[in-house]
Structure 1
Amino acid sequence: MSYTKPDIIFLMTDQQRWDCIGTFNEHIHTPNLDKLAAKGITFSQAVCQSPMCVPSRSSMMFGYYPSQLGVRTNYGGLFDEDRLPSEPLPELMRRAGYQTAGFGKTHWNHSGELAEPSSRGFEIRAIGLARESGHYEQGAVMMGDADPESLAAYHRETRHFGGGEENEFGYKGLTSQIPMNQHRDGWVAEQSLRFLEQGPDPERPLFFYLSFLKPHAGFNVPAEFEQLYNLHDIPDIPQPPWQDEQETHLASSDKVNTHSRESYLEKKNVWQQLSRDERRLTTLRYWANCSWLDHYFGQVLDRLQQLGRLDNALIVFISDHGEMLGERRYRFTKYNLYDSSVRVPMILSGSYIPRERRGSIDERPAELVDLVPTLREVAGLGTNPQLPGFDLLQEIRHRGSFCEFHGKGVTAPHSAPAYMWRTQEWKLILYVEGTVREAAARVHETRGELYHLTQDPHEWNNLYSDDSYAAIREQLKTELLMHLACSWAKGPALYDRGGLNPLK
């Protein structure tokens, strides 16, 4: 190898709960992720910046909060390459001298009507979807073009799963009857392994990005991964003492978006009729999805090891947000600010990690927006003082963690913002009911939720109006206000005669 910078291996899943790695769940089989944790740093308090794919991924890849980017829902996206607020992560890596190879989902949502939407820095690209899916990027090998028969077989198997594979059939799932390489993630994994077999550029460090579509529903899982689990060992999903949300940001969102509310009630009505074992089977298949992807991560890491690409490497593992999995009276997907939705697994591992920190758990606040600052430093690009995040390998860290929610935003207008401020012990959520259109005139109607996470990890007991907790409530409000004020003061735009020097 003629280069000195560490290789960067970026592994990602979609909708994987924070507690679905072996470090935090004794029941789950993720041996390859467990090895990464044993040789790296596991960030136990990591959160996403929006509980849905597009704003979360945009935030993570550009290093800004969703409202700084203007991408707040899954119908958002940054479309104009000439007006991007910062360089996206793969372009940063390319500019730092890395060979950039990207396999799987980015969900930029930027294709629109463009014939050749930018790959945003990826030199090599493969995506396990059809060209007309809205996920095509310039120069990408698309599964729909390269292997249309396999993609058609996958769609036939999941034809009853509904939009996003998230209806009741998608969550009930089934034992897959098609070969693994006919699955979209299987095809993507094979493309990444083929690239490694052909050999990365020996003259450049490698930025290797592998991002799967699952464990996001639907739960059509290969039998060998279902068989890792015994149905009777699967714990039941705990349920609250109430039947429906009352005076929460989630209840408020349901009022704005009746379609979302109807979708929830459809699944709730089904799940109430299921037997205990039938409900457990959904959890089993979700976990089996996690184990299946772990299997692919193991194959890729083994090949990278054989190539010597882990001798000097930083390995990142994250997911974009969590999954409710039937909590809070049979809620599924995400779209709220509770921990099962906003917390994410996050591991930094590899030979680049200092020996004294390997195998450690970092309980300080961590956010997905911290990844760009961290990887900038690793790649030798230095600090961008406009970004709100911090280098996860350094000492300075936020006081708490931030997440924002603007409703589902697909068939309804944006909800008035709901903002979360979270520490290891406490969570504050502030929201205004209704849509964002007139919310600024109704800030005096702000409502809230306050949870003592160490005593109430399920977030069932709202202490916001309890005067006994007024001091902590007001302290968290102050921290949230000043956190946003400090973040908004830096970027993404600053017009000062001193350039960016005032921010350094």
Structure 2
Amino acid sequence: MKPDIIFLMTDQQRWDCIGLYNPAIKTPNIDKLAESGIVYNQAVCQAPMCVPSRSSMMLGLYPSQLGVRTNHGGLYDEDKLPADPLPELMRKAGYQTAGFGKTHWNHGHRNPVPPTRGFEVRSVGLSRESGHYEDGAVMMGDHDPEGLRAYGEETALYGSGEENALGYMGRTSGIPMEQHRDGWVAGQCLNFLDGGIDPDRPLFLYLSFLKPHAGFNVPQEFEDLYRLEDIPDIPQPPWEDEEGTHLSATDGVNTGSRRMYLERREAWEAMSPLERRRTTLRYYANCSWLDHYFGLVMESLERQGRLDNALIVFLSDHGEMLGERRYRFSKYCLYDSSVRVPLILSGSVIPGDKRGTVDERQAELIDLVPTLSKIAGLPRNPILPGLDLLGERKRRGTFSEFHGKGAEGLHSAPCYMWRKRDWKLIIYLSGTIEDAIERVDEAHGELYNLRTDPQEWYNVYTEAEYQPVREQLKTELLLHLASVWSRGPFFYDRHGYASLG
């Protein structure tokens, strides 16, 4: 039988917020996956926010190929999908497909009966009216309305996305864990594992939580795992204001986002250093809480022998700034704390000599579709730009794109990132997309030596001694995009896909 595929996902978990990279964080179950698998320590997402990152990951195409560039986007029409999404691929490969938790397709906003896109079993920890209902899905708002109401009351002052200053300050939660949306989702998953697995088919299990994304209303027992005195301070740059970067350019376009940043900054500057650590502590505690649920799921699968022949994936959709760069929170930028992600492949299908190793290849989340398709015995889709993470082919660098927050008015002019182990290039235009074509001669850039400046505080883009590096990275970025765009997502040739190799 084909191996089971266990897909474990968090939302907004920094690449360095697992025990492997940060001994202050308690994630024993994720650490076990790392010890018996491959850690891809250079992995990045393709856009630093939920909807474009997840759409890109689930279809294996870059955000600009899909046209989903911000959280206000989405692929709404099923007949216009450029490729099968991952759960549909798994279903076609003969897998029982069970999905628990967040997908953030956004297709419920324009489709009264949005499909599950391949999931045969589906539970979502939100209300039917949230815009995230999928046809036939069990919704927390229907199944446990009192629990969802209690959660909503506890986070009522946390603002949009639970990301205002109060949401990041958080609190010790006063409601039971099962009344949290992630607690309910974990319960639905565990109930399914106890009696819903089809013994005659391989299993594709997708478990995707909403945290450690703010708000930071954390169950007591996980907050108690940490002492405030042991939490590190978040290092701050030597400058007071962000100037001459793609982030400052975006601030100039999106006034609402800028206003929220200033509100958070004012709140954090009024705190003592010890008080600021409370937010970091609660973020760590959220990571530990979800790790606890992953452990329960793995124990259930192991009892049933479903890990004897399995590939286990752990990842997050993007990172979290967590107060860096003068008290920036959330993600919306191309710096490493936002675009780098934890990515682990583990399980019995990993060759013995690869277990417990770190792979420094330039990995991207779009690599998951070709990797899992091969595991499932599916043919390669030649229009997809991703590579098999267990194969020999490797790219020269990693790509991510950013088009502003997209919450108001016109999109920001595009920002593109090309990242290698030691260097990062960011190319951007100020202003909006409206007249960007006329202003390409006004392009700006950022260049960071990640080896000597991992915080990305010192932009050396204009320094003469780094001109060869800058021009080499520009050339690689240009030709990477040229190679990708030439493949699709739509490709018409007399010879079909044969011309793509």
Contact persistence 2:52–2:69 (CA under 8 A): yes
The equivalent of 2:249 in structure 1 is 252
Residue in 2 aligned with 1:388? 385
Structure 2 residue 14 is the aligned partner of structure 1 residue 17: yes
Contact 2:228 2:278 in 1 (8 A): yes
> Structure 2: where are the runs of 5+ without partners?
none
The offset of 1:113, in angstroms, is 3.5
Question: Does the CA-based 8 Å contact 2:150-2:179 persist in structure 1?
Answer: yes
Q: Equivalent residue for 2:268?
A: 271
Percentage identity across paired residues of the two chains = 68
Alpha-carbon distance between aligned partners in 2 of 1:397 and 1:385, rounded to the nearest angstrom: 16
Structure 1 position 317 matched with structure 2 position 314 = yes
296-305 or 379-388: bigger deviation: 379-388
Where does residue 399 of structure 2 map in the other structure? Answer: 402
In the alignment, the residues of structure 2 paired with residue 260 and residue 217 of structure 1 have an alpha-carbon distance, to the nearest angstrom, of 16
Matched, 1:233 2:236: no
| Aligned residue in 2 for 1:71 | 68
Aligned to 1:113: 110
Counterpart of 2:396, as a letter, is R
Question: Structure 2 counterpart of 1:486, which letter?
Answer: S
- The counterpart of 2:86, out of the listed 73, 86, 89, is 89
CA RMSD of aligned residues (A): 0.6
Structure-to-structure mapping, 1:115-154, within 5 angstroms: 115-154=112-151
CA contact (8 A) 2:76 2:110 kept: no
Shift of 1:64: 0.2
Cα shift at 1:112: 1.9
Cα-to-partner distance string for 1:157-209 (whole Å, 9 max, x where unaligned): 11111111000000000000111000000000000000001140011000000
Q: Are 1:291 and 2:288 matched, yes or no?
A: yes
The one-letter amino acid paired with 1:163 is S
Letter in 2 for 1:482: L
Task: State the 4+ residue runs in structure 1 displaced beyond 6 angstroms.
Answer: none
Match of 2:458 among 452, 461, 468: 461
Q: What's the CA shift string for 1:275-315, capped at 9, x where partnerless?
A: 11110000000000000000000000000001111000000
1:364 is displaced (CA, Å) by 1.2
Q: 2:358 aligns with which of 356, 361, 378?
A: 361
Question: SS at 1:334's partner residue?
Answer: coil
Give 1:320 shift.
Answer: 0.3
How far did residue 115 of structure 1 move?
Answer: 2.2
Match of 1:370 among 362, 367, 389: 367
Q: Please say if 1:33 is aligned against 2:38.
A: no
How many Å separate the matches in 2 of 1:421 and 1:382?
29
CA-CA distance at 1:397 after TM superposition: 1.2
> Is there any run of 5+ residues in structure 1 with no aligned partner, and where?
none
* TM-score, normalising length: structure 1: 0.99
Give the equivalent residue in structure 2 for 1:429. 426
The CA deviation at 1:411 is 1.3
Deviation (angstroms), 1:420: 0.2
Instruction: Give the secondary-structure state (helix, strand or coil) at the position aligned to 2:55.
Output: helix
**Residues matched between the structures, number:** 501
Alignment of 1:321-360 (within 5 A): 321-360=318-357
CA-CA distance at 1:30 after TM superposition: 0.2
* 1:159 maps to which of 156, 161, 167: 156
Alpha-carbon distance in 1 for matches of 2:383, 2:93: 19
CA distance in 1, matches of 2:139, 2:196: 21
> What residue in structure 1 maps to residue 211 of structure 2?
214
The aligned residue for residue 449 of structure 1 is 446
* 3-state secondary structure, aligned to 2:427: strand
Distance 2:285 2:481 in 1: 39
